[in-house]
Amino acid sequence: MNETPVTVLGLGAMGTALARALLDHGHPVTVWNRSPGKGDDLVERGARRAATAAQAVTASPLTVVCVTDYPAVWKVLGAVGDAVAGRTLVNLTTGTPAQARDTAAWAGEHGARYLDGVVQASPELVGTPDAVFLHSGPRQAFETHRAVLDRLGTVHHLGDDPGLSCLYDLALLGLWYEAEAAYLNALATVRASGADVEAFAAFAGGQIGHVAQAAPDTAHQVRERRYPVGPAPLSVHLPVVGRLRDLRAATGMDTEPVDRLYAMIERRIARGHGAEGFTGLIEELTGQEAERRNVAPAR
């Protein structure tokens, strides 16, 4: 069976892993990198090295771009120009939704189909089901090249808006950063009080698990903008958070994160929502306070 030729622009650790996975599945692969000297091992495996980015793009109906950031993407595509006409670009570079939409507009102006994407995996996982790829952009372009994209890992199409993949990527990264920071704060609280952090960890996993298990229900509440009381109303949460703040202050810890949380709960209660559940704090986070009796649920 003849496999689809694919071009890979950018041969950092991730770009190299992408090209290697495609070669392993029998795809003719053309590679190009901004700085020379990369890709020798790929050429030895059978890849073709192009002299310019434009030559690389014209070698295949599908081009995967994976460079350091969007300014680098734009520099590369500026050199490619109209060579992209009639072809599909898949950009796997981390950035913002606005940057993704701008790049999609550029591709459309130059006659190309554009899929944005992000990789939720380390390079060594590329080519396995554990490598998760989030794509956004025209569904038809995704389906046309689905067989190729499946070779790289587990792929998901999020929607036609090209900015969705970057949105999900940054939101998921933020979830990890902030959850990890919250866990570190908990460990710091235990350590500063002279207790054993490893003994505490056995209980911490269960507490984190409660958040994960409730994720679908929490999202539903946020979508509907209805915040049931759950385990306790905000009026009960407030003094508990206050005691946590006092404990951290007494052990010399930075109390800024819990100060912000306390202030949000206070504001929410002051606006008449003390009988609601903790999920209602999202209205304070987004700055879009709305009375439920006046705002129809989002659909």
Q: Is 33 helix (H, G, I), strand (E, B) or coil?
A: coil
3-state SS, one letter per residue, for 136-184: ECCHHHHHHCHHHHHCCCEEEECCCCCCHHHHHHHHHHHHHHHHHHHHH
pLDDT tens by residue, the chain, 299 residues: 579 999 999 999 999 999 999 999 999 999 999 888 789 999 999 999 999 999 999 999 999 999 999 999 999 999 999 999 999 999 999 999 999 999 999 999 999 999 999 999 999 999 999 999 999 999 999 999 999 999 999 999 999 999 999 999 999 999 999 999 999 999 999 999 999 999 999 999 999 999 999 999 999 999 999 999 999 999 999 999 999 999 999 999 999 999 999 999 999 999 999 999 999 999 999 875 444 434 433 33
Contacts of 179 (CB under 8 A, 6+ apart): 208, 211
Q: Please give the C-alpha separations between residue 217 and each of 7, 148, 222, 224, 252, in angstroms, as whole numbers.
A: 42, 35, 9, 11, 36
Q: Please give the C-alpha separations between residue 207 and each of 3, 100, 248, in angstroms, as whole numbers.
A: 48, 36, 19
Q: What's residue 210's pLDDT? A: 93
Q: What's residue 38's pLDDT? A: 87
Spatial separation of the C-alpha atoms in residues 87 and 112, rounded to whole Å: 5
Spatial separation of the C-alpha atoms in residues 55 and 62, rounded to whole Å: 13
Length of the chain: 299
Spatial separation of the C-alpha atoms in residues 88 and 189, rounded to whole Å: 52
CA neighbor of 100 nearest in space, from 139, 144, 135, 60? 135
Q: What's residue 288's pLDDT? A: 55
